[in-house]
A and B are shown apart, each in its own frame.
Chain A
Amino acid sequence: MEDRMLGELPWLAPIGALVLTAMVAVILSLFVARGHQGRVGAFVAAGHLVAAGLVAWVWLDLGPSEVMEGTVMMDGLALAVIGLLGVAGAVGVALLRPVVAGTDREGELYAVLAAASLASAVLVAAADIALIAMALGMLSLTSFVLTAYLRRSARGNEASLKYYIYGTVSGAAMVYGFSWWFGLTGATSLAGIGERLPEAPTAALVGSTALVVLGLGYKAALVPFHFWTPDVYDGAPLPIAAYLSVLPKIAGLIALARVLPVALPDDAAGWSVAIAAIAAATMTLGNLAALRQRNVVRLLAYSSIAQSGYLLMGVAALSGSDQGLPALVYYAIAYAATNLAAFAVVLAVQRERRWVDVSAFAGLGARHPWWTAALVLSLLSLVGIPPLSGFVGKLEVFTAAIDAGQAWLAVVAVVNTVISLFYYLRVIAPTVFATPAGTEAVVAAPRGGASAPLTAALAATAIATVALGVGAEPLLRLAEAATMLGG
């Protein structure tokens, strides 16, 4: 028993790296002088990248495997997404550093961020409802702390409190749903549940499944569990919003993609249609709400809700098409790069101009052509304009939806794409066409433009946004290989 557990340790190395990163970061932050807490950030970013590197090692040298008696699946899906979490988490730290530099608990914030990444990684790999519940709880708690970091901001406090209360309630609802699953099947592993759950009475089955979807859907900001998103993104430090819009969201979606087909094989309880309906509602409401926004952060918040809808198309297609999972994985990675690039530019603008209304972007093209190029490319990628990565992502999920017999969902997504063009262009237009009027004073006294980590993160994500689309082959191949074990 012990030998086997020891033998399995190498597979857990990526998760172990994140555990160590979080723990060492707490200790480091106690000993590093306040002026040098950026080193803790550098350490945490490096820890994330090491985790991503270990993923490559596990995948290539050891191969996918289930560990800890099937509670944790280090399969292609988990490895691909943990690799993504590692890189995206490092980018998140790079975005965070210039904003929180010199604040009083800077080092601890990096440690909490590492813990959130850890929880996301566990959620992605967990194949046991107890572990999923624990990971989700930890993710809620750490996200809450991240959101509330700016303690003196009333909006931040309101946002984090909202986030915490609703998060706890939805997490509890999920645990309650899990308890039904356990009661109905006597198993805690997803595979064990999947053997008996479809035979359960329909009402109990549907009710409990709905509760589980609620808990995971909350993290992924799916309609109707999305209402926290704009307030939280707006109230939290901007880089934290960027982080929350990528890591926990993708972790929640991947957890849905693992839980539903394994616990409810053969589309039991008709979850495909339900998820497709949620996808349609999510993209539609997200896009419609984004149309009204003049604050670019809130606009990106609603846009990320809409993007959750497109991503969820991959989950909805899981039982009807084998294209669903690769589409989800590809789109998740493309979305992460694109969304982080967009947030990075908004952050740079916020630091220079102190506000992020659409008007703050007027004339950006003349002063910062590179930022503008990155912003235009990332927003067009979010629209789904080829050959950017967002387009290939949409091509993949549309293909999966049509292949799964959900062509109507693809049509809804097409209509939504057109709607989304309106508000993305509302940011692009002043950026490229307008001349800055009445803002010269601000330009003359910039608060500090891009710092080195921010510039690096911006460049890396913008390049990835383009490169992953034009050269889609390696990532598509990776997505094809990102399969599930025990599914």
Chain B
Amino acid sequence: MPWLSLAVGVPALGALVAALLPARLTAAPRLIALGSAVLSLLALLVTLIRFDTGAGMQLVEEAVWIPTIDVAWRLGVDGLSLPLALMSALLFLPAIGYGVGPRPLTRAAAALLLLLESATLAFFLAQDFFLFYVAFDVTLVAMYFLIALWGEANRRYAALKFFLYTLIGSLPVLLGIIVLFLESDPATFDMIRIAREQPLAGAGAGASLTFLGFFVGFAIKTPIVPFHTWLPAAHVEAPTAGSVLLAGVLLKLGTYGIVRVNLQMLPDAFAEYALPIALLGLLSVLYGALVALAQRDLKRLIAYTSINHMGYVVIAVAAAAAPGISASARELAIDGAVLQMVAHGVVTSALFFVAGFIATRAGTRDLDELSGLVGPMPIYGALAAVAMFASLGLPGLAQFPAELQIFLGTFDAYPGIAAVALLGLVVTAALFLLALQRAFLGETGAAWRGLRDLGRRELGVLVPLIVLTVALGVYPRLALDLISAGSWLLP
């Protein structure tokens, strides 16, 4: 069975069915969306069973598409693709379960969420640049409509900004893809072949420009400071499930691209720019943490910590590309980077749900107005605390092993940068502790005494994420064995 194609195809088909349903079947869109997402996850779990850890790119599915320009339906998995695809398929379940817009889930919402899921999985699994780019752009079209249709007050502006910025990002990527296509011989969009043959090996001006085209595109998506300005608007204005998918899944498109294309296909050019990129990563770490510290809006605070957390990934990848890093440190750094992508996906999704739940109850997310939430909502308070501790990097929770590996790996190449980046950890620790103190502890404000604790639906989406957060923290090998960067980093 072509399991990977099923994982991508079922949500796409589900989107089509949901869009064409007769309007009177009000319960059907939600069932179709959840059903497709579950089937897609099952197909990936089967892939996980068949997956041979340590064997590099494998289980490749290939079908003829546009042979004239050597475009084909090529999907495959390695220790980079599979964890991210699994994480995405996992995160779509709570996102769809919680839903966007009016309840029950409308046909349009179901179709857009499933389209987004299909495109995201296609992006992580694609081993063909044409498909890769199609998926990259379809995610942004789907997300544009999700934000603009069901976002908060300023949604149109935020959606436009998101679409524009990410399109500005995707077009240099397209030019880079065209250069790799033209330079490969015979010309191809086959990513596996391009990674193996390295058509732009050596570091000429052409390789540098191509590298920078890809890098700018992925840097906007990640986002790396100073390409981040779209992020706060989009994350804050998006509906809760939209923010979850934006931060949990879509940001990884950027870092995945940097590893898959910049690092794997253009390592020589990367070596040249490794230091400035590591410094940009450091800037993101510090800037994201400090700006988050100044926020009163919980959602905005979480949005900025994403910049901080993705900064660690960028530092690790740049360190891995640095000339003269030892092979073991490189593997450590990339293992950590991929684990951080997965861990951040899970933890930040939980945090955006935490912010969304309080906003629907209290009508505000302002940390200065909220107080003593643990009183009326003990379960909510406990789960929120776990998510925040995970995000600040507490040992035993998901992000700690990832950040530890990143620091250990980076230390070999850039000890100074690694040392300064530790400051970011201190600031995020402070800001989450302050947030907990301001909103959750202390005396419960009069307005908040009557708040209900989480209901079944909310527990259903949040608890699995918290369980996963703890599991990844206690037993990181769950993901690390799967990642094992050494097996695929150098094709």
Contacts and interface: CB of A to CB of B under 8 A. Distances in A.
A385 B141 contact: yes
B490 interface: no
Given A386-B133, A433-B149, A472 B171 contact: no
A289 B2 CA distance: 49
Contact of B164 (A391, A418, A429, A472): A418
Interface stretch (B172-180, B402-410, B444-452): B172-180
A122 interface: no
A395 B171 contact: no
B75 to A, nearest CB: 16
A331 interface: no
B174 A403 contact: no
A480 B66 CA distance: 13
B182 A385 contact: no
B181 A386 contact: no
Interface in A384-400: 385-387, 391, 395, 398-399
A417 B173 CA distance: 14
A359 to B, nearest CB: 15
Given A387-B134, A432-B145, A476-B68, A403 B182 contact: yes
A59 to B, nearest CB: 18
A386 B137 contact: yes
B359 interface: no
A402 B171 contact: no
A114 to B, nearest CB: 34
B167 A473 contact: no
Contact of A422 (B134, B164, B171): B164
Contact of B175 (A410, A433, A476, A480): A410
B438 interface: no
B475 interface: no
A165 interface: no
Interface string B16-36: 000000000000000000000
B66 A472 contact: yes
Contacts of A429: 148, 156, 160
A354 interface: no
A234 to B, nearest CB: 27
A473 B63 CA distance: 13
A368 interface: no
Interface string A411-441: 1001001100110010001001100000000
Contacts of B171: 414, 417-418
Given A386-B134, A387-B134, A402 B175 contact: yes
A477 interface: yes
Contacts of A399: 178, 181-182
B156 to A, nearest CB: 6
Contacts of A77: none
A199 B107 CA distance: 67
A483 B134 CA distance: 29
B182 A477 contact: no
Contacts of B137: 385-386, 391
A386 B177 CA distance: 14
B66 A473 contact: yes
Interface string A364-408: 000000000000000010010111000100010011001100010
Interface string B84-112: 00000000000000000000000000000
B178 A395 contact: yes
B195 interface: no
Contacts of B290: none
A425 B160 contact: yes
Given A421-B163, A425-B163, A473 B174 contact: no
Contacts of B68: 473, 476-477, 480
Contacts of B172: 414
Contacts of A480: 68
Contacts of A411: 175
A358 to B, nearest CB: 14
B178 A402 contact: yes
Contact of B65 (A380, A391, A395, A473): A473
Contacts of A414: 171-172, 174-175
A398 B163 contact: no
B133 to A, nearest CB: 6
Nearest to B189: A395
B67 interface: yes
Nearest to A419: B164
A468 to B, nearest CB: 11
A473 B69 CA distance: 9
B327 interface: no
B138 interface: yes
A433 B156 contact: yes
B168 interface: yes
A418 B167 contact: yes
A476 B164 contact: no
Contacts of A477: 68
B116 to A, nearest CB: 14
B314 to A, nearest CB: 24
A18 to B, nearest CB: 30
A421 B178 contact: no
Contact of B178 (A398, A418, A472, A476): A398
Contacts of B174: 395, 398, 414
Nearest to A476: B68
Interface string A122-154: 000000000000000000000000000000000
Contact of B167 (A402, A417, A432): A417
Contact of A402 (B65, B141, B163, B179): B179
Interface in B41-94: 65-69
Contacts of B67: 473
A107 B182 CA distance: 51
Nearest to B134: A386
A258 to B, nearest CB: 23
A383 B164 CA distance: 12
Contacts of A418: 164, 167-168, 171
Contacts of A407: 175
B69 A476 contact: yes
A482 to B, nearest CB: 13
B190 to A, nearest CB: 16
B91 to A, nearest CB: 24
Contacts of A422: 164
Nearest to A373: B19
A236 B406 CA distance: 65
Given A429-B148, A432-B149, A402 B182 contact: yes
- Among the interface residues A386, A398, A422, A476, which one has the most CB atoms of the partner chain B within 10 A? A386
A380 B138 CA distance: 11
Given A399-B181, A402-B179, 6 more contacts: A383-B167, A387-B134, A410-B178, A411-B175, A417-B171, A476-B69
Q: What 10 A-B pairs come out closest when comparing CB atoms?
A: A386-B134, A414-B171, A476-B68, A473-B66, A387-B134, A399-B178, A386-B137, A472-B66, A418-B168, A402-B178
Interface of A: 380, 383, 385-387, 391, 395, 398-399, 402-403, 407, 410-411, 414, 417-418, 421-422, 425, 429, 432-433, 472-473, 476-477, 480
21 contacts: A383-B167, A385-B137, A385-B138, A386-B133, A391-B137, A398-B174, A399-B181, A402-B179, A403-B182, A407-B175, A410-B175, A410-B178, A411-B175, A414-B171, A414-B172, A418-B167, A422-B164, A425-B160, A476-B68, A476-B69, A480-B68
